[in-house]
Protein backbone atom coordinates (compact mmCIF):
# COMPACT_ATOMS: atom_id res chain seq x y z
CA UNK A 1 0.00 0.00 0.00
CA UNK A 2 1.45 3.39 -0.83
CA UNK A 3 1.57 6.24 1.67
CA UNK A 4 -1.40 8.00 0.04
CA UNK A 5 -3.60 4.93 0.56
CA UNK A 6 -2.29 4.63 4.11
CA UNK A 7 -3.29 8.26 4.79
CA UNK A 8 -6.73 7.81 3.23
CA UNK A 9 -7.40 4.83 5.52
CA UNK A 10 -6.12 6.66 8.60
CA UNK A 11 -8.34 9.65 7.76
CA UNK A 12 -11.34 7.37 7.37
CA UNK A 13 -10.73 6.05 10.90
CA UNK A 14 -10.79 9.69 12.04
CA UNK A 15 -14.15 10.05 10.28
CA UNK A 16 -12.99 12.13 7.31
CA UNK A 17 -13.42 11.01 3.73
CA UNK A 18 -10.38 12.21 1.75
CA UNK A 19 -10.70 12.99 -1.94
CA UNK A 20 -7.02 12.86 -2.79
CA UNK A 21 -5.70 13.75 -6.22
CA UNK A 22 -2.38 12.66 -7.72
CA UNK A 23 -0.34 15.30 -9.52
CA UNK A 24 2.37 13.79 -11.78
CA UNK A 25 4.33 17.07 -11.82
CA UNK A 26 4.84 16.73 -8.06
CA UNK A 27 3.68 18.64 -4.98
CA UNK A 28 6.79 18.34 -2.79
CA UNK A 29 6.90 22.01 -1.82
CA UNK A 30 4.05 24.46 -1.20
CA UNK A 31 5.04 26.27 -4.41
CA UNK A 32 4.94 23.03 -6.44
CA UNK A 33 1.61 22.12 -4.88
CA UNK A 34 0.03 25.52 -5.69
CA UNK A 35 1.20 25.25 -9.30
CA UNK A 36 -0.10 21.67 -9.63
CA UNK A 37 -3.48 22.34 -8.00
CA UNK A 38 -3.89 25.73 -9.67
CA UNK A 39 -4.61 27.61 -6.46
CA UNK A 40 -2.99 30.43 -4.52
CA UNK A 41 0.18 29.66 -2.57
CA UNK A 42 -1.62 30.89 0.57
CA UNK A 43 -4.22 28.10 0.12
CA UNK A 44 -1.62 25.34 0.51
CA UNK A 45 -1.32 23.83 3.99
CA UNK A 46 2.26 23.21 5.04
CA UNK A 47 2.38 20.44 7.68
CA UNK A 48 5.51 21.33 9.66
CA UNK A 49 6.79 19.27 12.57
CA UNK A 50 8.72 21.02 15.34
CA UNK A 51 10.18 19.48 18.49
CA UNK A 52 10.74 20.51 22.09
CA UNK A 53 13.17 17.90 23.36
CA UNK A 54 11.74 14.68 21.98
CA UNK A 55 8.12 15.91 21.91
CA UNK A 56 6.67 16.75 18.50
CA UNK A 57 4.40 19.71 17.78
CA UNK A 58 2.63 20.19 14.45
CA UNK A 59 2.05 23.52 12.73
CA UNK A 60 -0.41 23.70 9.85
CA UNK A 61 0.70 26.87 8.11
CA UNK A 62 -0.45 28.81 5.09
CA UNK A 63 1.94 28.27 2.15
CA UNK A 64 2.72 31.96 1.98
CA UNK A 65 3.90 32.25 5.59
CA UNK A 66 7.25 31.69 7.20
CA UNK A 67 6.46 30.33 10.64
CA UNK A 68 7.81 32.14 13.69
CA UNK A 69 8.49 29.20 16.00
CA UNK A 70 8.61 31.46 19.08
CA UNK A 71 4.93 32.37 18.47
CA UNK A 72 4.06 28.68 18.22
CA UNK A 73 6.05 27.87 21.37
CA UNK A 74 4.02 30.47 23.27
CA UNK A 75 0.73 29.03 21.99
CA UNK A 76 1.79 25.46 22.86
CA UNK A 77 3.13 26.48 26.27
CA UNK A 78 6.73 25.35 25.78
CA UNK A 79 9.96 27.29 26.17
CA UNK A 80 11.26 26.81 22.65
CA UNK A 81 10.77 24.81 19.46
CA UNK A 82 13.08 23.77 16.67
CA UNK A 83 12.32 22.22 13.29
CA UNK A 84 12.23 18.41 13.39
CA UNK A 85 14.79 16.30 11.56
CA UNK A 86 13.52 14.08 8.72
CA UNK A 87 13.75 11.05 11.08
CA UNK A 88 11.78 12.84 13.79
CA UNK A 89 9.09 13.73 11.22
CA UNK A 90 8.81 10.10 10.12
CA UNK A 91 8.77 8.74 13.68
CA UNK A 92 6.07 11.15 14.83
CA UNK A 93 3.82 11.05 11.77
CA UNK A 94 4.62 7.88 9.84
CA UNK A 95 5.16 9.99 6.72
CA UNK A 96 8.15 11.60 5.02
CA UNK A 97 8.84 15.31 4.56
CA UNK A 98 7.18 16.56 1.39
CA UNK A 99 4.20 14.24 1.85
CA UNK A 100 3.39 14.72 5.54
CA UNK A 101 -0.38 15.04 5.87
CA UNK A 102 -2.05 17.29 8.47
CA UNK A 103 -3.60 14.37 10.46
CA UNK A 104 -3.81 10.57 10.35
CA UNK A 105 -0.46 10.26 12.08
CA UNK A 106 1.13 7.40 14.04
CA UNK A 107 1.01 9.47 17.20
CA UNK A 108 -1.34 12.20 18.39
CA UNK A 109 0.50 15.52 17.95
CA UNK A 110 -0.54 18.84 19.57
CA UNK A 111 -1.41 21.09 16.64
CA UNK A 112 -1.45 24.82 15.89
CA UNK A 113 -3.50 25.99 12.90
CA UNK A 114 -2.52 29.20 11.08
CA UNK A 115 -5.41 31.68 11.27
CA UNK A 116 -4.55 32.92 7.75
CA UNK A 117 -5.97 29.67 6.32
CA UNK A 118 -9.46 30.83 7.39
CA UNK A 119 -9.39 33.43 4.60
CA UNK A 120 -10.29 30.57 2.24
CA UNK A 121 -13.27 28.24 1.97
CA UNK A 122 -11.04 25.42 0.78
CA UNK A 123 -7.36 24.75 1.38
CA UNK A 124 -5.16 21.94 0.03
CA UNK A 125 -2.88 19.69 2.10
CA UNK A 126 -0.49 16.82 1.39
CA UNK A 127 -2.13 13.38 1.22
CA UNK A 128 0.84 11.27 2.34
CA UNK A 129 3.09 11.47 -0.73
CA UNK A 130 5.04 14.25 -2.51
CA UNK A 131 2.70 13.97 -5.51
CA UNK A 132 -0.74 14.11 -3.90
CA UNK A 133 -2.99 16.69 -2.26
CA UNK A 134 -6.56 16.87 -1.02
CA UNK A 135 -9.02 19.71 -0.44
CA UNK A 136 -10.51 20.46 2.98
CA UNK A 137 -12.17 23.39 4.72
CA UNK A 138 -10.17 25.12 7.47
CA UNK A 139 -13.11 24.42 9.80
CA UNK A 140 -12.82 20.65 9.21
CA UNK A 141 -9.03 20.84 9.66
CA UNK A 142 -9.56 22.56 13.01
CA UNK A 143 -12.11 19.98 14.13
CA UNK A 144 -10.17 16.87 13.08
CA UNK A 145 -6.84 18.04 14.52
CA UNK A 146 -8.34 19.70 17.64
CA UNK A 147 -5.94 22.51 16.80
CA UNK A 148 -5.36 25.79 18.54
CA UNK A 149 -5.94 28.53 15.94
CA UNK A 150 -3.29 31.25 16.09
CA UNK A 151 -1.27 33.81 14.22
CA UNK A 152 2.02 32.01 13.45
CA UNK A 153 3.52 34.07 10.62
CA UNK A 154 6.88 35.77 11.02
CA UNK A 155 6.57 39.51 10.49
Binding site for ligand 5CA (CB under 6 A): 27-30, 33, 44-48, 83-86, 97-98, 100, 125-126, 130, 133
By beta-carbon proximity to ligand 5CA, the closer residue of 47 and 75 is 47
How many Å separate Cα 81 from the centre of its chain? 17
CB of 27: closest distance to ligand 5CA in angstroms?
A: 5
CB of 31: closest distance to ligand 5CA in angstroms?
A: 9
Strand runs labelled E in the chain:
21-22, 44-52, 55-62, 82-83, 111-114, 123-126, 132-136, 148-150
d(CA 128, CA 18): 11
By beta-carbon proximity to ligand 5CA, the closer residue of 28 and 74 is 28
Strand runs labelled E in 26-136:
44-52, 55-62, 82-83, 111-114, 123-126, 132-136
By beta-carbon proximity to ligand 5CA, the closer residue of 79 and 87 is 87
CB of 81: closest distance to ligand 5CA in angstroms?
A: 12
By beta-carbon proximity to ligand 5CA, the closer residue of 85 and 107 is 85
Question: Using CB atoms, what's the residue nearest to ligand 5CA?
Answer: 46
d(CA 95, CA 41): 22
Amino acid sequence: MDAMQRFIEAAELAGFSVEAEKFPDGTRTAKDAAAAVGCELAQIVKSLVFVHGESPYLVLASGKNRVDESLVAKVMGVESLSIATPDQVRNATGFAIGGTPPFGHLTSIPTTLDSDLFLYETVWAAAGTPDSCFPISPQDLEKITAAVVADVAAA
